[in-house]
Amino acid sequence: MDEITSPHDTFFRESFSRREIARDFLRWHLPAELLAEIHLDTLDISKDTYVSSDLRTAYSDLVYRVQHRDGPMNIYLLFEHKSSPEHWTLLQLLRYITAEGDQYRKQHPEAKHLPAIYPLVIYHGKRQWRVPRRFQQLVGPLPQTMTPFVPQFTYALVDLSARTNAEIKGQVLTRLVQLALRWIFDDQPIERLRTLLALIEQVQDKNTAVAILESLLRYYVQGTQRIEEQDVRELLQQSTSTGDPIMQTFIDRYIEQGMQQGMQQGMQQGGAAILLRLIERRFGPPSNQVRERISQADPKTLLQWSDRILEAKSLDEVLH
């Protein structure tokens, strides 16, 4: 069974759904030739994800549209996030691309061409990324006479993992998000979180900083499973002792209103997403009724259902 990465996917989507982060990241990671042909200021998140609603808990794609310099033509930028190597990534990307083609034809019935798509995989896992980079590598044996009939494409890879020496570039928010992903598996998560909190203090817009801080703390509590609420409180108190207004705003807004309740809510949401992904993998897409039941379950019940799914032969056995 594949590693469940819901906390990682959630943080990725929350962060890269911000246009300022996505645009800054692309400035550093798109090929210079492509950057010269597009207007990044027109970057907008596509409302039509490549993944259908019944599969959205299992994937973490983000799709952007950006205008080409020569007119109204759009280039599609597909972000796919991975926290562990996945052999079938190319097949997954092909599924996204064909789904987008079908969606585009429905929206533009008179069109004779499809928009160009640039697939980019962002990886930050513990193991080395050793999976096929070209689609024809997935097909074997592949006789020479058959190569013209088998799709051939690749993807751009941005490896943020700690095992690489890749330089983390960009403005403070972009660097913060990339470092958070890189360090999530670190042996000293509290020290890493302390460094990230210092970066947040450099964010100029207070509301943005507080939103990123909340997302970051939830990610490190859920993603590392080695940081407790008390650890977070102590880190925040150390920051506020220096008179930092952002940390004080966060404490006023969240801690005093019940940080534990907020963290528990975040854990419940993460647990529901994980269970839905497990169900999808074992039994196929769950119905809306099942989704609603899982979304309203308490953390203890979610844990019981997650334990049962390992041996259950049907969905009814899981949720009885």
pLDDT digits (tens, 9 = 90+) for 95-144: 888 888 888 899 889 999 998 899 999 999 999 999 999 999 999 999 99
**Which of 59-73, 81-95, 144-158, 176-190 bottoms out in mean pLDDT, i.e. has the lowest?**
59-73
The pLDDT score that the predictor gives to residue 210 is 84
Mean pLDDT on 9-35: 93
Q: How far is CA 213 from CA 150, 198, 236, 290, in A?
A: 46, 11, 10, 32
Residue 156's nearest CA partner among 119, 113, 103, 184 is: 119
Alpha-carbon gap, residue 54 to 312, rounded angstroms: 21
- What are the backbone angles phi and psi of residue 169, rounded to the nearest 5°? -120, 165
For residue 15, give Cα distances in angstroms to 235, 293, 295, 316: 22, 28, 23, 36
**For the chain, what is the largest distance between any 2 Cα atoms, rounded to a whole number of angstroms?**
70
- Contact present, 98 and 117 (Cβ < 8 Å): no
Q: So what's the pLDDT on residue 141?
A: 93
pLDDT score of 52 = 46
CA neighbours within 13 Å on the CB side: how many for 244?
23
* Residue 56 pLDDT level (bands cut at 50, 70, 90): very low
Task: Please report the pLDDT score of residue 267 as a whole number.
Answer: 54
pLDDT digits (tens, 9 = 90+) for 205-259: 888 888 898 899 889 988 888 888 778 878 887 765 555 667 666 666 655 555 4
Q: Is the pLDDT of residue 20 over 90?
A: yes
What is the average pLDDT score of the chain? Answer: 82
CA 11 to CA 15: how far, in whole Å?
6
pLDDT at 315: 87
Rounded to an integer, what distance in angstroms lies between the CA atom of residue 30 and that of residue 36?
Answer: 10
| pLDDT score for 138 | 96
Q: How far apart are CA 10 and CA 215, in angstroms?
A: 9
Sign of the dihedral defined by the CA atoms of residues 195, 198, 203, 207, in that order:
positive
The pLDDT of residue 31 is above 80: yes
Report pLDDT for 270: 60
Whether the per-residue pLDDT at 72 is higher than 70: the answer is no
- Bigger pLDDT: 1 vs 231: 231
Query: What does the alpha-carbon distance between residue 212 and residue 191 come to, in Å, rounded to a whole number?
Result: 18
* Tens-digit pLDDT profile for residues 279-318: 877 787 788 788 888 877 877 787 778 778 767 788 888 8
- Hey, which residues does 39 pair with through a beta bridge? 67
**pLDDT value, residue 273:** 73
